[in-house]
Structure formats: C-alpha cells, structure tokens
C-alpha cells in the first residue's frame, strides 16, 4: 500500500509539473524556451555549390529578420547547416547527425533529387518534418509523405510550361540533354510524357555527366540532328559547359532550361562571354531585382538592412521558403510540436506571402504552382 501511495503521489506531481512548466516538461525535440533549431544538409562545395550557398543565404536572411524582432513566440531561430557536396551518402550521414545528435525540430533547405531520396527515409522514420527542399521532381509530389512539404513548383509544371510554349509557337520537335543522375533521368521521363501529350516529338535524348568539362560530342550530335529546340534538364556548372560547346558546334536550335539550370547568372554570363544570351529558363519565383511584388520588396529591404551580398533567384526562393516556414511555426503556437507544425501547415489553405501564393491542405503539400518563362540577355539579366 505504501508503495502504491508513493507511486500515485509521484504521478500527480508529474502531472502538476507538466501543467505548471509546459515549456520544460513537455518540450519538443529541437525546441527550448529560447530557441528553435532547424537542420540543413546541402551542397556548399564543388560544381553545384551556388545552389546550397544561395539557398541558405535566403533562408538565414529571413531568420535574421525574425530574430531581430524577438523570434517566433519568444524563441530565436537557429539554422544548423552541413555540407554534403552534392553526394547522397553524405546527405544521409548529415541527416542522421542532425536528427540524432543536434536534435533539430525540423529540416529545411535540402538540395537535389538524389540527396532528398537519401534523406527522406530518415526524416520519416524519426517523424521530423522536411520542409521545402530545392527539388521539383514529380515522384516526391505524387508519392505523398505527410512529413514532406514543398514550396517551389514541381519540375513537371516547369516542363509543362516549356513544352506547351513550344507547341503553341509551332515547334514540334525537341532534343533533351539531361544530367546523368536520378534528377535527370526522372525528369527526362516526365518531359517525354508531356511531349507526347502536346504532340511534340522527342528526336534525341543525350545524357551528360555532372562533372563533365567537355560537351563537344553532344553539341556535334545535336548539330547533325537539328531539333527545333533543345530542352536542358541539368543543374550547376555543367549547364555552362554544355552551352559553351553547343554554341560553338554550329547548332542553332533555341535552348530551354529548368529553373535550376543557372544560379550565378552574372558569373555565367561573364564566363560564357555572351553565349548565355537567348537561353530561355523556367522561373519559379518572381525576378529578385524587380520589387513590384511585396515579397521581393521585403527581400531587398532585408538584404540592405542585414548586409546580404548574395542576390539571386535561389536566394529569393530561400527567403520565401523561410517566410512560409516561420508562418507555419507561428500558427502552431507557443506549445510547439512537430505534429502541431504539420497540422498548422495543412490548415493553411490558400495563403499569400507578399502576394506570392502557396496552398496546403491535408492532401496537398505541394505549395506553389507559380511558373513563368524568361530569357537571358548577354549580361545575365532576364527579360520576359
């Protein structure tokens, strides 16, 4: 009887402590009374480093804005980032460390299809939300995972915009040059399906290695095939390599790329010495240098205030992602939990962030469907 009474007293004390000190007794992993820890694994070195560096810069920029204003419900945001050098095995190792050792609340800012493939099973098993990877591959949107939320439009919407445009202007044949990776191969399949839907013939498909330094053979092959246009499914510096050698091969078909094709536009323009001119790209955020939308005006204001020198489409995307993430955390309330965060996002419905539209529900975690087409000028600027 004595031991039963002691156990009952301890149980009541625990209940009282949980009610009196919810932040201490019932705290979620990665959440303290003063901080919310968010984890990121992305590419910060190697041929695709611009993606990770710019994406992190945009995310951190809005974190800085929020933290200067006192945080979210009194908690400051902390971003813990590790370099995976674009290697999925390192992404998996970094993700395990973020979850098991750093004890993050959620994950964000991941880059590339294969890297997300490596990370997602770990996040799902641990019940950790994965928010807004820089990935548009269709399979992540059709194979629903409650822990995964997107912000950017999918590559299927980007490719649909490109293919439908080509069909509208009467261009009925294309060649596809694709990155020899999970990202390239999966989106090649999507491109072929869309081409069939719009009665556009795919006359040639050519793989290209991520680390390729020469694309002369590909350019010469395309010059012989003479497609009506070339659709590029690739990312990072390999895009420059292809454009450089294609432009000198004698081939003259117009070039189209996904939003991830070029990140450092001004740098690419200088290195390509004018050969970037005329490249048409899909864009999944508004132009970062044209503040006609409030979200872009806010981004440029915060860049100026916090001295952020990086200014790119990818940085603006990171800023938007961060703003949506913070809104979800706010909606989850002071007693923040991972489940509460997921539920809050699913209850968001149709929302606008500085006029940038994002939609979530219990059955739709895809975020935005904003896609536009723009053309690069000689100096790396974009024109619609």
Strand partners, 130: 107, 148
Q: What is the β-pairing status of strands 372-376 and 280-283?
A: antiparallel
User: For position 26, what pLDDT does the model report?
Assistant: 55
Tokens of 210: 């991520």
Q: Is residue 21 scored above 90 in pLDDT?
A: no
**27 confidence band (pLDDT: 50, 70, 90):** confident
pLDDT, mean of residues 212-220: 95
pLDDT, mean of residues 170-188: 95
User: For position 17, what pLDDT does the model report?
Assistant: 42
pLDDT, mean of residues 179-206: 96
The answer, as to whether pTM is greater than 0.75, is: yes
From residue 323, how far is each of 51, 63, 164, 296, 326 by CA, in Å?
A: 19, 8, 31, 12, 5
Question: Whose CA is closest to 42, among 53, 34, 31, 33?
Answer: 53
Question: Whose CA is closest to 210, among 75, 49, 332, 55?
Answer: 49
User: For position 381, what pLDDT does the model report?
Assistant: 85
């Amino acid at each position: 009887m004595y031991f039963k009474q002691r156990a009952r007293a301890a149980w009541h004390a625990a209940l009282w402590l949980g009610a009196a000190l919810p932040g201490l007794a019932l705290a979620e992993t990665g959440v303290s009374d003063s901080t919310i820890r968010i984890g990121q694994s992305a590419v910060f070195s190697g041929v695709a480093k611009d993606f990770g560096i710019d994406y992190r810069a945009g995310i951190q920029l809005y974190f800085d804005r929020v933290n200067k204003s006192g945080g979210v419900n009194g908690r400051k945001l902390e971003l813990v980032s590790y370099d995976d050098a674009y290697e999925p095995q390192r992404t998996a190792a970094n993700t395990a460390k973020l979850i098991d050792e750093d004890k993050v609340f959620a994950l964000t800012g991941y880059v590339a299809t294969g890297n997300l493939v490596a990370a997602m099973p770990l996040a799902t098993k641990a019940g950790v939300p994965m928010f807004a990877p820089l990935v548009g591959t269709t399979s992540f949107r059709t194979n629903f995972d409650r822990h995964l939320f997107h912000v950017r439009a999918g590559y299927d919407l980007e490719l649909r915009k490109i293919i439908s445009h080509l069909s509208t202007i009467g261009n009925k044949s294309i060649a596809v040059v694709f990155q020899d990776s999970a990202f390239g191969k999966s989106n090649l399949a999507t491109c072929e399906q869309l081409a069939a839907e719009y009665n556009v013939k795919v006359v040639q498909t050519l793989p290209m290695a991520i680390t390729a330094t020469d694309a002369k053979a590909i350019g010469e092959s395309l010059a012989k095939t003479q497609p009506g246009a070339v659709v590029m499914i690739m990312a990072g510096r390999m895009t420059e390599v292809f454009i450089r050698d294609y432009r000198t091969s004698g081939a003259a078909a117009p070039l189209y790329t996904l939003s991830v094709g070029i990140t450092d536009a001004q740098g690419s323009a200088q290195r390509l010495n004018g050969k970037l001119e005329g490249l048409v790209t899909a864009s999944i955020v508004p132009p970062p240098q044209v503040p006609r939308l409030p979200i872009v005006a806010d981004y440029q204001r915060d860049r100026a205030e916090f001295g952020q020198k990086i200014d790119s489409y990818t940085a603006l995307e990171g800023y938007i992602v961060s703003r949506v993430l913070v809104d979800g955390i706010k909606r989850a309330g002071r007693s923040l939990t991972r489940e509460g965060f997921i539920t809050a996002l699913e209850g968001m419905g149709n929302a606008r962030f500085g006029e940038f539209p994002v939609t979530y529900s219990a059955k739709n975690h895809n975020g935005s469907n904003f896609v536009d087409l723009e053309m690069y000028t000689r100096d790396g600027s974009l024109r619609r």
